[in-house]
Amino acid sequence: MKTNFPASFSNRLQAQMGAEASLLLEALSTDSPTSIRINTAKFHAPVQLEKVPWSTNGYYLQERPSFTLDPLIHAGAYYVQEASSMFLEEVVRQSVDHSQPLRVLDLCAAPGGKSTLLASLLSKESLLVSNEVIKSRAEVLAENLTKWGAPNVVVSNNDPRDFDRLQGFFDLIVVDAPCSGEGLFRKDPNAINEWSPDNAHLCSDRQRRILMDVWPALKPGGVLIYSTCTYNPAENEQNIQWLSQQTELEPVSLSVDAGLNIREVQAANHVVGYQFMPHLVKGEGFFVCAVRKLDGDEWQAPRKDKFPLAPTGKKEQAEVAPWLTDERDYFQHYENILAMPQGDNPAWGAVIRELRIVQAGVLVAEVKKKNLVPAPALALSTIFKKDTFPAWELDLRQALQYLRKEEWAIDREKDGWHLMCYQQLPLGWIKRIATRFNNYYPLHWRIRMELPEDLTHSFLNHHA
pLDDT digits over 157-187, tens only? 999 999 999 999 999 999 999 999 999 898 8
pLDDT of residue 414: 81
431 is in an annotated binding site: no
State the chain's mean pLDDT as an integer.
94
Residue 189 counted as an annotated binding residue = no
112 is in an annotated binding site: yes
Q: What is the pLDDT of residue 339?
A: 97
Closest CA to 140 of 412, 359, 403: 359
Gap between the Cα atoms of 126 and 272, Å rounded: 28
pLDDT score, position 412: 64
Evaluate if residue 2 carries a pLDDT over 70.
no
Contact 341, 152 (CB under 8 A): yes
pLDDT digits (tens, 9 = 90+) for 313-324: 999 999 999 999
CB 243 within 8 A of CB 213: no
110 is in an annotated binding site: yes
Q: Is residue 343 annotated as involved in ligand binding?
A: no
Residue 176 is labelled as binding a ligand = yes
Q: Is the pLDDT of residue 427 over 70?
A: yes
Local structure of 289: helix, strand or coil: strand
Q: Is 283 annotated as ligand-binding?
A: no
Res. 417: pLDDT tops 60: yes
User: Helix or strand or coil: residue 85?
Assistant: helix
At residue 293 the predicted structure's pLDDT band, cuts being 50, 70 and 90, is very high
Q: Does 113 appear as a known binding residue?
A: yes
Tell me the residue type at 275.
Answer: Q
pLDDT-derived band at 436, boundaries 50, 70, 90: confident
Digit-coded pLDDT (tens) for 375-403: 999 999 999 999 999 999 999 999 999 99
Whether residue 463 is predicted with pLDDT greater than 70 in this model: the reply is no
Alpha carbons 187 and 28: distance in angstroms, whole number: 9
At residue 297, the pLDDT reads: 96
Q: What is the mean pLDDT of residues 4-13?
A: 92
pLDDT tens track for 234-252: 999 999 999 999 999 999 9
Closest CA to 237 of 269, 262, 192: 269
Q: What is the mean pLDDT of residues 414-433?
A: 94
**What pLDDT does 421 receive?**
97
- Given this model, what pLDDT does residue 433 score? 85
| pLDDT tens-digit series, residues 18-47 | 999 999 999 999 999 999 999 999 998 667
pLDDT for 439 beyond 60: yes
Instruction: Please tell me whether residue 244 adopts helix, strand or coil conformation.
Output: helix
* Alpha-carbon gap, residue 388 to 227, rounded angstroms: 43
Query: Number of helices (H) and strands (E), helices first, in the chain?
Result: 14, 23
pLDDT at 462: 61
Active site residue 289: no
**Selected catalytic residue, list 179, 203, 229, 289:** 229
Q: What is the pLDDT of residue 306?
A: 87
pLDDT in tens, 61-93: 999 999 999 999 999 999 999 999 999 999 999
Please, which residues bridge with residue 120 across strands? Answer: none
> pTM of the entire structure?
0.96
**pLDDT range class, residue 294, cuts 50, 70, 90:** very high
